[in-house]
Amino acid sequence: MPNILVVEDSPTMRQLISFAIKRIPNSHVIEATDGVDALKKLSSGKVDLILADINMPVMDGLKLVSLVRGNPAYKSIPVIIVTTEGAEEDRKRALSIGANAYLPKPIQTQELIRLVNTYLAH
Amino acid sequence: MEKETGFVGKAEEFLQMFKKGEEFTKELLKENEKLRYRIAQMEESIQRSADEARIKLYENRIGLLEEELNSLKKRFRQVEEENKDFASKYIEVEEENNNLANLYVASYQLHSTLDFSEVLRIVLEIIINLIGAEKFAVLLIDEKTNELVPVSAEGMAVSDAPKVKIGQGRIGSVAKEGESFFSDDLAGAAELNPLEPIVCIPLKIKEHVIGVISIYKLLTQKEGFTNVDYELFNLLAGHAATAIFSSKLYTQSERKLTTIQSFLDLLKEKPRK
C-alpha cells in the first residue's frame, strides 16, 4: 500500500489532491500543512512519495526537498512539486535541488495520477 | 501317291486353320488393346470428373471461408470502432469525473465554515489553485454607499483594488447587470489597470448581486479557460456569494449577540448593587 505525503497549506488543494490520489488503488494519503509538519510525518511512518507545494508558511517546499535529499533515510523518496510558480527558472531550480518532477497549478488530475504512478513504479 | 496327296491336303488344311487361329488371336489382341485403351480413357475420365468435383468442393469451401473472413474483417472493424468510441468516452468520463471532483471540493470548502475571513480565504484559494489566476480582487457591495468595496485581493494590495460605483465602468456594469465579463485578450495589458479586468464575475444570490470577483492576470502557465473553468466561475458566482453572505450575517449576528449579552449581563448586575 503506497503512502503518499501531500504537503500543502491550502485545505482546498489538500482535499483536491487527496481526492485524486485516492483513485490510485490501495493508496493512502498523509496530509501535512507545511515543510515542518511534513518532516514530522516523515519521521513517524513510511512514506513512498511526496507531493509538495513551494509557497508555504513556516517551511517552504524547496527547503523541504533539500532537507529530504540530505537525509539518508528519506533521500530516495520521489518528490513531485505542485505549485503555482510556472516559470521555467522555478522549475529548473526545483529539479536542481532534487525534486523528481514539477507540476504547475492548476493541476490536471490525469497528469498528476500519471506522474504519481510513474514514480511509485520506480 | 494317294496317301501323299491326302497328307499334303491335311497339312494345308492345318496350316489354313493355324493361319485363321493366328488371325483370330491377332484380332483378339487388337480388340484387347482397344478395350485396354477404352478402360484407360474411362479411368482417366472418372479421375478427371472426381478431381473436378473435388475442385468444385474446394472452391465452394474457399468461397465460404472468404465470406467468413470478410464478415470477420467487418466485425473486427466494427469492434475497433466501438473500442475507439469506448476509449474516447472513457476519457470524457474521466475528465467529467475530475471536473466534478474539482467542483465538489470547491463547493465543499466554500460551505465548510461560517467565518467570513475564512470564506474569503477559500474563495482566494479556489481562484488561485483551481482557476489559475495570479492577480485578482474580491469586491463586495456596501449597501450604505452603493459602492463596490475591495475586501480581499491576491497578487496586489487590497488598497490597489478600486472602489467602484454600481453601474460605473466594466466592474460596475457587471455588478449592475449581473452578467459575467470575459475579455477576448486574456493576456491583458502589461500594466495593471484596476478598472479593466480580463474577467469579472458577479457574486449573485438568485438575481441579487452582492459583489464581484475581478481578475486582472492569469498564471503564466494558464493559457486560456476550459469548460471546467466556466463551471467554476458559475459555482463561484452562486456558492461563493451564498457563503460570503451567510458568513457575513453570521459574524454580524455573533457580534450583535455578544453586545446584547453584555447588556443583559449589565442589567442583571445592576439590581444586585
CATH number at residue B209: 3.30.450.40
Instruction: Provide mean pLDDT across the span A34-53.
Output: 93
B-chain residues near A108 (CB < 8 A)? 98
Cell numbers found for residue A29: 494519503
Q: Please check whether residue B268 lies inside any domain of the structure.
A: no
My answer on whether B247 and B140 are in the same domain is yes
Is B145 inside any structural domain? yes
Strand boundaries in B85-156, DSSP class E: 133-142, 147-154
A:B CB pairs within 8 Å: 59
> Which residue in chain B has the smallest CA separation from A82?
B129
Q: How many Cβ atoms sit within 10 Å of the Cβ of residue B127? A: 25
The per-type count for chain A, helices as H runs and strands as E runs, is 5, 5
Residue B118 belongs to some domain of the structure: yes
- Which one of B110, B143, B163 terminates a domain? B110
On whether residue B47 sits in a domain, the answer given is yes
Residue A64 has pLDDT above 60, yes or no: yes
Does B98 lie in the same domain as B70? yes
Q: What's the pLDDT at B98?
A: 85
Point out the domain boundary residue: B110, B141, B176. B110
Residues B225 and B145 in one domain: yes
Assess whether pLDDT exceeds 60 at residue A25. yes
Q: In this complex, do A106 and B108 lie within 8 Å of one another by their Cβ atoms?
A: no
- Residue B166 has φ and ψ, to the nearest 5°, of -60, 130
> Which whole number is the average pLDDT over B172-199?
86
Q: Are residues B122 and B78 in the same domain?
A: no
- B98 has a chain A CB within 8 A of its CB: yes
- List CB contacts (< 8 A) between A110 and chain B: 94-95, 98
Q: What is the pLDDT of residue B189?
A: 66
pLDDT category at B72 given cuts 50, 70, 90 is very high
Q: Residue holding cell 460570503? A: B244
Q: List residues in chain A touching B: CB distance below 8 A.
A: 10-13, 15-16, 19-20, 84, 86-87, 104-106, 108-110
> Cα-Cα-Cα-Cα dihedral of B117, B123, B124, B128, to 10°?
160
Chain A residue with CA closest to B134: the answer is A84
The answer to whether B129 contacts chain A (CB < 8 Å) is yes
Per-residue pLDDT, B99: 84
Task: Give a yes or no: residue B153 inside a domain.
Answer: yes
Do B32 and B151 fall into the same domain? no
Structural domain for B121, as ranges:
114-259
Question: Do the domain assignments include residue B271?
Answer: no
For A3-115, the fitting CATH number among 1.10.1420.10, 3.40.50.2300, 3.40.430.10, 3.50.50.60 is: 3.40.50.2300
Dump pLDDT digits (tens) for A81-110. 999 998 899 999 999 999 999 999 998 888
Buried b (16+ CB within 10 A) or exposed e, B144-174: eeebbebbbbbbbeeeebbebebebbbbbbb
Whether the link from the prior residue into A25 is cis, omega within 30° of 0, is no
Per-window interface: B 14-53 vs A, CB < 8 A = none
Instruction: Tell if the CB–CB gap between A105 and B101 is shorter than 8 Å.
Output: no
C-alpha distance from A85 to closest chain B C-alpha (Å): 8
Q: How many separate domains does chain B show? A: 2
Whether residues B89 and B1 fall in one domain: yes
B270 domain-assigned = no
Residue whose grid cell is 511534513: A38
Residue A14 exposed, middle or buried by CB count within 10 Å (0-12, 13-18, 19+): buried
Maximum average pLDDT range among A35-49, B92-106, B254-268: A35-49
Same domain, B97 and B119: no
B126 CB within 8 Å of a chain A CB: yes
Coil, helix or strand for B106?
A: helix
pLDDT category at B185 given cuts 50, 70, 90 is: confident
User: Residue B184: its pLDDT value, please?
Assistant: 84
3-state secondary structure of A64: helix
CA–CA min distance A16, chain B (Å): 6
Contact A84 B94 (CB under 8 A): no
Question: Reduced to 3 states, what is the DSSP secondary structure of residue B19?
Answer: helix
Shared domain check, B251 and B228 = yes
Helices (H), A24-108: 35-43, 61-70, 88-97
Count other Cβ atoms within 10 Å, centred on residue A50.
Answer: 28
Q: Quick check: B111 and B243 in contact, CB under 8 A? A: yes
Domain boundary among B110, B129, B152: B110
pLDDT at residue B1 tops 70? no
Q: Domain check: are B83 and B163 in the same one?
A: no
- Whole-number Å distance between alpha carbons of A121 and A107: 21
User: Is B80 found in the same domain as B125?
Assistant: no
Residues of A in contact with B108 (CB under 8 A): 15
CB-based contact, B131 to chain A, within 8 Å: yes
Taking an 8 Å cut-off on Cβ atoms, the answer to whether A20 and B98 are in contact is yes
**Looking at the domain assignment, is residue B269 inside a domain?**
no
Do B223 and B210 lie in a common domain?
yes
